[in-house]
Chain A
Amino acid sequence: MRTIADHVLDIAQNSVNAQATHVKIKFVEDREKIVIKIRDNGCGMDEEKLSKIFDPFFTTHKEVRRVGLGLPFLKQNAELTGGYVHVSSTPKIGTILEATLFKTIDCQPIGDLAGAFATLVTSSTDVIWEIERCLEKRCYEFSSKALDGVDLSSPKVIKMIFEYFKSMELSL
């Protein structure tokens, strides 16, 4: 079964593929729901493209229907819990995704969120990532700016970043 962390990783990759240089992720969780916001300054989409992003046949990948990831699946999963996914976009300005999932029995497990964040922030030196993660009233944050000049392809650094997110998740 796919996890919400898999979705976050997959959806945020779209921002990178859309040439974003700045991506902000907010992942806020309380007892009853999960709210995810991803905002990027990538190429954006016009009305026509925007109207197709939840169409499972629109994606460039032939295999996604088997793997269960991508925007149509996120939407389907969110709606199954009584939640929703909303995407707004402006060409050349960027895209904002907002998803709300209620923690019903139909809600997918959150999964390895720490690993998803660590993977994203080490995926490219051209993107500034800002992450805010809250569980009830406790929050932690990440900003790529704090790692300015650090070689993100170094195995040591990648390992440290995985451990950073893991310990942050544990501290919540």
Chain B
Amino acid sequence: MKIKSLEELQKIKEKALKEISGRETKKRGRIVVGMGTCGISAGAKDTLRALADELEKQSIDDIAVIQSGCMGLCEVEPTVEVQIGSEEPAIYGHVNEEQARRIVREHVMKGKILSDILVKRGKV
């Protein structure tokens, strides 16, 4: 028995194209979640979900959420890189769901660097 899954996808597409791509999407910044083996093991998919959820809750749609492979930072996974505008990227470590929401509320919304979970500034 097949559940009507593709129809549900069609609805997502219509919604997405209407609400989002309808207007010019000039992105203000991006958040990169490390999804290598270590990241996955440390729960990076929950971090990804929490980031998307909090951004949506705060009605932020000019930040791209991207996944990357191994960042070589196994000890501090899950890792998240935040880059807003032309500022230097900030790499955060041990980003669980709670920290992910903090990143959205503090860094993305107020431009505040969270020094307690900061791993480094600049490119990985």
Contact = CB atoms under 8 A, between A and B. Distances in A.
A17 B3 CA distance: 31
Interface string A131-172: 000000111111100111111011111111110100110011
Interface size of B as a range: 35 or more
Contact of B12 (A2, A64, A147): A147
A22 B3 CA distance: 23
Contacts of A63: 37-38, 74
A146 B9 contact: yes
A30 B44 CA distance: 29
Contacts of B51: 155
Contacts, number: 144
A64 B51 CA distance: 26
B86 interface: no
B21 interface: yes
A9 interface: yes
**Most chain A C-beta atoms within 10 Å of own C-beta, residue among B10, B17, B36, B74:** B36
A64 B45 contact: no
B2 A140 contact: yes
A6 interface: yes
25 contacts: A17-B69, A62-B74, A63-B74, A67-B38, A67-B74, A112-B45, A116-B45, A122-B67, A137-B1, A139-B2, A139-B3, A143-B6, A148-B13, A150-B21, A151-B20, A154-B16, A154-B25, A155-B55, A155-B60, A156-B19, A157-B20, A160-B12, A161-B12, A168-B5, A171-B3
